[in-house]
């Protein structure tokens, strides 16, 4: 086989590889993108009916909404990764960067709030159980006192008894979710707005890249790392251990006397949180690292251009001086 035949075979191989890569991309888009959105919309409609009387379902509804936004934006993100160039224009660069930041932040903090809600629900169930046990002990004590003194009062027609009325509990049976919800979405919007402003197209070697502006990258890197990784992990790690301990403790209780089932909430929260930490968090870390590498490359390219221009100007100035 001569060199020309090898070259033709190599080009044919890359053409076939590109075709299979495009086919894999479209299969991924159809299965994950369309199928995922359909499933998320079904869940969304399912949670709407029960969100008004179940605080945990209200958070699941918000998580589904944020996931739908994330799936819609993944279409642009996947094409950007495969084409190695931003092809959707300057305006969409800032908008897509901001919306991706918005949806990922919302997902992170909805999950974080779900963990705190699960811990609060477990604590509420334990508090309700302690109140019930205290009332039952008081009831048993009074009944025993009445029984011990009833023999001396023959005129009593019946013994006094004390019963506990469960129809109107004296303890809190639900947790407010309106205030945490407002905090989640206001925080997500506040974090995403700067990304829209400081993201722009950068053209190098006839290719467009959607990046954070060089002058704003340092502050954006520190802020994103703290808000998306450090702060959530400071909450996720301890709450996971607390939820495992609360689950083992609440399994021994038959009745919880509150509006929600704490064991079910804890189990769902643990499954979703661990799945997020395994699948979503590495992507956030990878995006931050890749942005750092890309920005450092751009800085190096910028410094080389500056040095080259300075050297050229110095040579021109030297040549002009010699001529004079």
Cβ pair 235, 180 in contact under 8 A: no
Residue 198 or residue 110, greater confidence: 110
Q: Which domains does the chain have, with CATH numbers?
A: 3-143+172-294 (1.20.1070.10)
Q: Which long-range contacts (CB under 8 A, 24 or more apart) does 209-213 make?
A: 209/85, 209/86, 209/294, 210/80, 210/86, 210/93, 210/96, 210/97, 211/291, 211/294, 211/295, 211/298, 212/97, 212/291, 212/295
Closest to 120 in 3D by CA, of 255, 239, 274, 237: 239
Write down the residue that tokens 């060199």 correspond to: 3
pLDDT one-digit tens code per residue, 217-239: 556 666 777 777 788 888 888 99
Most confident segment among 262-271, 283-292, 297-306? 262-271
pLDDT one-digit tens code per residue, 6-26: 454 444 444 445 666 667 667
Six-digit token string for 273: 């949180």
Q: Is 103 exposed, middle or buried (0-12, 13-18, 19+ CB in 10 A)?
A: buried
pLDDT at 157 exceeding the cut of 60: no
What is the distance between the alpha carbons of residues 100 and 81, in angstroms, rounded to a whole number? Answer: 14
């Amino acid at each position: 086989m001569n060199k020309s035949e090898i070259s033709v075979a190599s080009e044919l191989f890359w053409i076939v590889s590109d075709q299979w890569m495009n086919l894999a991309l479209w299969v991924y888009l159809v299965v994950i993108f369309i199928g995922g959105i359909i499933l998320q919309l079904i869940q969304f409609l399912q949670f709407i009916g029960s969100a008004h009387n179940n605080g945990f379902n209200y958070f699941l509804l918000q998580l589904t909404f944020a996931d739908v936004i994330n799936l819609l934006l993944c279409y642009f993100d996947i094409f950007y990764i495969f084409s190695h160039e931003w092809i959707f224009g300057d305006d969409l660069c800032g908008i897509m960067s901001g919306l991706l930041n918005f949806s990922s932040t919302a997902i992170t903090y909805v999950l974080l709030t779900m963990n705190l809600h699960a811990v609060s629900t477990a604590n509420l169930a334990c508090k309700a159980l302690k109140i019930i046990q205290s009332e039952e002990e008081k009831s048993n004590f009074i009944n025993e006192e009445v029984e011990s003194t009833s023999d001396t009062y023959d005129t009593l027609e019946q013994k006094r008894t004390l019963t506990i009325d469960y129809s109107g509990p004296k303890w809190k049976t639900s947790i407010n979710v309106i205030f945490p919800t407002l905090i989640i979405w206001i925080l997500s919007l506040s974090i995403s707005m700067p990304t829209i402003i400081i993201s722009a197209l950068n053209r190098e070697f006839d290719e467009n890249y959607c990046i954070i502006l060089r002058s704003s990258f340092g502050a954006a890197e520190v802020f994103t790392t703290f808000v998306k990784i450090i702060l959530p992990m400071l909450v996720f790690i301890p709450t996971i251990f607390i939820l495992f301990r609360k689950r083992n403790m609440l399994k021994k209780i038959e009745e919880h006397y509150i509006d929600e089932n704490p064991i079910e909430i804890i189990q769902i929260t643990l499954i979703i949180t661990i799945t997020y930490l395994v699948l979503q968090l590495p992507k956030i870390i990878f995006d931050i690292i890749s942005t750092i590498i890309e920005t450092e490359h751009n800085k190096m390219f910028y410094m080389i251009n500056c040095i080259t221009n300075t050297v050229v100007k110095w040579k021109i100035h030297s040549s002009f001086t010699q001529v004079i």
